[in-house]
A = this chain, B = another copy of it.
Amino acid sequence: MRKFHTVTVVGLGVIGGSYAKALSALGYRVLGVDSDAQTLQAAADDGAIEQGASDPDAFFAQSDLIVFALYPSRIADYLHAHLHAIAADCVLTDVAGLKSHFVQQICASLADRADLQFVFCHPMAGREKRGYAYADPSVFCGANFIVTPTRTACEETIERVEALAREIGFGRIRRITPQLHDEMIAFTSQLPHAIAVALINGDTHPDTGDFIGDSYRDLTRIANINEDLWTQLFLENADNLIAQLDAFERQLRIVRDAVAARDAQTLRETMIRAGIRRRKLESDRAKTQ
């Protein structure tokens, strides 16, 4: 399988920065695009990128892979504006946490360049902090990697991108449709973020920090949320998220009703079911690592 040689990473935030660090450590030639000059300097100082620029055109002309690590809503326009500069037969990929709507947008903006292939990916790793300063490629180690193939990429190209993901250290790699991706992500990612936000916003006591243990700390870690990104992700996946919020509320009602009825047996059974599911999650994960 042909390996990539020169990779341009567009957007050196926490995820793009982590990609740049991972790829340069693996020996790839990495070029970095960011609107922030300090970020480019920091990435160059780290050796995460060979060169940096705010305008991508010169880098796009010499890359055989471009990673768009931008907010999902910006990718299509950005691609459209710089489409002319991209080298022939270049492979494009992204890191967006939402697919259906954005995949359509992006495919439309690719229409004039039948030679380009876009492999839509969602690396399921992140940090609750934002910005290059928090970029850390170790978050990819063993993490899930999802590919949502479309007709804009052939099998061989998809496999090249998956091979790169494996090289970076991702664990399980799965292919699903953009639609199923967005349904799953509403449950596994968006619902937990909505819960964390609601939990911490319900805090009514000034000294709560003195009365917490790891459980509250764990459940609110992601409440330190990037409001611009997540407002976009929530609203572009509104129907799926609402369905999951409603399903979660029904599950929480089971607990509430059992507590209200002092129904120890239902509570115990509900907890036993939860414990079994959680231990299965751990044992499944152990198998892939």
Interface membership of A222, Cβ < 8 A? yes
Interface membership of A255, Cβ < 8 A? yes
Contacts of A169 in B (CB 8 A): none
Instruction: From the candidates B199, B209, B281, name the one contacting A220 in the complex (CB within 8 A).
Output: B281
Cβ contacts A74-111/B at 8 Å (1 or 0 each): 00000000000000000000000000000000000000
Taken together as a complex, chains A and B put the C-alpha atoms of A282 and B129 apart, in Å, by: 12
Within 8 A of B (CB), among A122-160: 124-126, 139, 143-144, 146
Chain B's nearest CB lies how many Å from the CB of A202?
4
Chain A interface, number of residues (Cβ within 8 angstroms): 90
20 A-B pairs whose Cβ atoms sit less than 8 Å apart in the complex: A124-B213, A125-B213, A126-B213, A144-B210, A146-B211, A184-B205, A187-B202, A189-B212, A192-B216, A193-B215, A194-B256, A195-B195, A198-B255, A218-B218, A223-B275, A223-B277, A224-B274, A225-B275, A231-B264, A234-B259
Interface positions of A (Cβ within 8 A of B):
124-126, 139, 143-144, 146, 172, 174, 181, 184-185, 187-189, 191-205, 207-225, 227-228, 230-231, 234-235, 238, 241-242, 244-252, 254-256, 259-260, 262, 264, 267-268, 270-275, 277-282, 284-285
